[in-house]
Every structure is written in C-alpha cells, then in structure tokens.
A and B are shown apart, each in its own frame.
Chain A
C-alpha cells in the first residue's frame, strides 16, 4: 500500500504524518508513507488545501488532520 501525505511542511502536516505512521504501525499493514512537500506536485493531485492524505492514488482527506480511527479505516 502506498500512502502519501501532502503538505509543504507546516505543523499540521507533520502531525498528520505522525498519525498516519502510528496507524500503519498499529494495523500491521505493509505500507510506505511518503511526505510530498513540492507545491506543484501537491497541486497535481487536484488537492485544494493541505494537509491532504492520498492512499493508493485516492484522495482521502483534504485540509484537516485526520483522526487515527479514520486512517485505520482507509488502510484496512
């Protein structure tokens, strides 16, 4: 599974990345977590607002820090 956290590097984006990594570790799912900080690449996903989370090419959440329970739902 391929998870991308989109965000230029503000506090909220870092928090999102932390939550995702915790959720991945908790679920035991084999997944790569990548942080995307390049602004044009973020725009390339059609995402208006950061932080955003993309799981296997699907945009799951835009403009807010996701809850861990939601993240577990996306990756399981």
Chain B
C-alpha cells in the first residue's frame, strides 16, 4: 500500500486505490429493507390522493367499519369465541379423536370423523399439516387425510361463529354443512383417483397427544353448552317483527346470558378447583352494573369478562392452560382481523356504500348467480390468501357491493382451505399430480354448491 502511494504523483489515484481495496463501511445488505420502507412510505404520502372524494370517502368507510366491529362484535362475540376456541384446545382430548383416524379404524367411520374433527383438531393452523401427513402415511390413508385437510380450516369454531354472526346464519350454516359434505366427497374422489398409488402403510407405533386432564364426555359437553349458550344469548339479535319465539327470547336475552354464566361459574367451582368465594365476588361484581345501569348491558358484560379472566388466572392448573390457549388465539388473530377489516372497508366500503373499488365492478363480476360468477369466485378464493378469519369482513364488503350469495358461499368454500402458498406446501407433501387434482376438485365443487345455494336463497 505504501509503495503504491509513493509511486503515484496525484492524490486522485490514492483514493481510487483505497476505494477498490478496502471494504465499504456502508452495508447495503442491512440497509435495503428499512430504506425500501422509508422510500415506499415517502412515495405513498407524496402521491396520497387526499383531494379525491372517493379516497377520503373510502378512508371514512374503513374507519366506520372498524368502529362497527369494535362496537358490535369484539366484546360480545369475538372475546367469548376466543375463550371457546381455547377451551376446545385444552379440554377436548385429541387422542380420543385421532384413534378413529388411525390405521386400524373402519373406513366409513374415518371419513365421518375426519370431516368434522377439523373443528376440534385444527384449532391451531400449524397442526393441520403434520396431522394431515400423519393420517395419510400412518393412519387411515389418503381419503380421510384429504377430508381432514379440507374441512379443518373451513369449520373451525371461530370461523363458523364469526361467519354466522356477521354474514348471516344461512351462510354460516351453509358453510359448515357444505364444508363437511365437501370434505367427504373430495376425500372419496381422491381415494378413487389414486387408489393404485396408495402404498402399504408403515406399521409402527403412533403417538397421540395426551390431554392434560381426563374428564368424562358429559362434563366437557356441559361446559361447552354453558359457553355456547352464553355466546348465543348475548348476541341474540332483535327480530324484524315483534311477537313469537324469537322476540320472546330477545326480551330475556340478558337473563338467559346471566343464567348460562352462572352455570359456567358453578361448573368451574365443581370441576376446576375455582374457589367458591371468588365466584360469589365475581357474581356480585357483575350484578352491580347490571342493576345500576341496565340500559348499558355492555358494562356488566365487560365486568363479567374481566371477572372470568381473574377466576381463570388466579386458579392453578388447567384454568391457566385455558387462559393461555385463548390468549394465544387472541394475540394471533386480532391484529390480522383489524387489518382485514380496515382493508376491506377501504376497498369495498360498508354495505350500502362504496369504497375505492366501484360496486359496479363487483356486481358485474360476481353479482347474481351465474355459472361464471360462481366459477370466478371459486378460482379467486382458491388462489387468494386469507389470513385467519379475514375472509369474513372481506366477504361482507363484497356482498355489500353486490356480490351474490351463491358466489359468496363458493368463495367461502374454496377460500380458507386453499391459497397459493398453502398449495405449495401441500405439493411438497402430496406431489404435483395429487395437488392439482385436489385444487381442481375444490374449485369445481365450490362452484357447484355456490350455484345450488344461490338458487335456493334467491328463490
């Protein structure tokens, strides 16, 4: 180096030498990511179309939709649903379900169990694929494995509750029934198509997850009856016309909700070692706002949720696991759902108003109940990625913008079970041929059931 400097007459050449030989202090590999965010943010705001009426309207729509969710759905529906989903994960013995999907299980039974067990086994999305691979290679074979893979994401507890609540009970029920029927049919088709390729099963030990606490089935059932009853009565909607059974229930819905809450509390004292004095204190804490400000039932309900959480967290044992499981769901899903609601509101607006995308486009693409509309919805649903539960606000926006109910169901049936990233993972397990067959079956079946459902609803 020193020799180089002494030989060159001008400083210019020295700098050139250093530049080429010494490593730069600026490390672009670390910098490009934050820099891209900053430049992206700058460009976004530089060109932000705040003068456009459509844009400002869409922003207001997006905020209004988020507010509507916060007011109507978070406390009464979402938070109780998290506790129910957490309870499913902790109280339902997965091993007792899995034995029907093992290698020795009867074929008919294994299809049936696979098609409905998604609601119990697939509460965490990360368990779906290992379970699927296990059922295929070690257990009941390709058909039931496919049935499980399809129905799992579509009929988990949270998804069904939120779909029925926001999109209406008819679509909620059609989604649940459709997913179960579909999974059996698609599983059978896959089994028949690839019957010859099925290899001999590796006979070896199977390891099932063990439940933390063994509890008789009737006790578990009663726990869920109390929780689901509480959820249903608290969210009971005001019927359109007065009189009859529905409005009679509506009139006493808070009494009913209180009754189910009391039942739940008593069960927790009996079976989960919750101290009786704590339950009495919790009951008093809920009764005070319920009697003082009965016109604001949300206050009493919130106090009840806080009291319930306190009971769970101050008792050692399975109540802690219950709380942790529920918290994991909430932590994982809430941010995604908020983002989904904001984006759906921005692009599509609330029902009855427009967002960035003109309603005319939506209704021309997926309005009515034509074969084309259903097929389009199925294909888009199959390839698009929906983060957990975000399919609900997005569909709400699409229906508000003129999407038909048939295509909406088609999208719901093809959507959550499949996405482009998820297809790539399935391909790594099943291989290209079986994956293509699976995707094609889902799209075709979703289109057909969209047509049927759309025909039934609009008639």
- Chain A residues packing against B (C-beta within 8 Å): 6-13, 39-40, 42-50, 52, 59, 62-64
Contacts and interface: CB of A to CB of B under 8 A. Distances in A.
Q: By CB atoms of chain B within 10 A, which of A10, A47, A59, A62 has the most?
A: A47
Contacts of B126: 7-13, 50
Nearest to A65: B324
Given A12-B124, A39-B429, A63-B94, A46 B129 contact: no
B350 interface: no
Q: Chain B's interface: helix, strand, loop or mixed, by majority? A: helix
Nearest to A59: B207
B208 interface: yes
Interface residues of B, number: 32
A43 B209 contact: no
B217 interface: no
Q: Which one of B94, B130, B132, B210 has the highest number of Cβ atoms from chain A below 10 Å of its Cβ? A: B130
A45 B207 contact: yes
Contacts of A48: 94-95, 98, 130-131, 134-135, 138-139, 206-209
A39 B129 contact: yes
B7 interface: no
B133 A46 contact: no
Contacts of B137: 40, 43-44
Contacts of A47: 130, 134, 207
Nearest to A6: B130
A13 B130 CA distance: 12
Interface in B137-185: 137-139
A49 B328 contact: no
A4 B332 CA distance: 26
Given A39-B129, A49-B127, A50-B127, A64 B209 contact: yes
Contacts of B202: 44
A45 B208 CA distance: 11
A49 B138 contact: no
Contacts of B328: 11-12
Interface string B347-376: 000000000000000000000000000000
Nearest to B129: A39
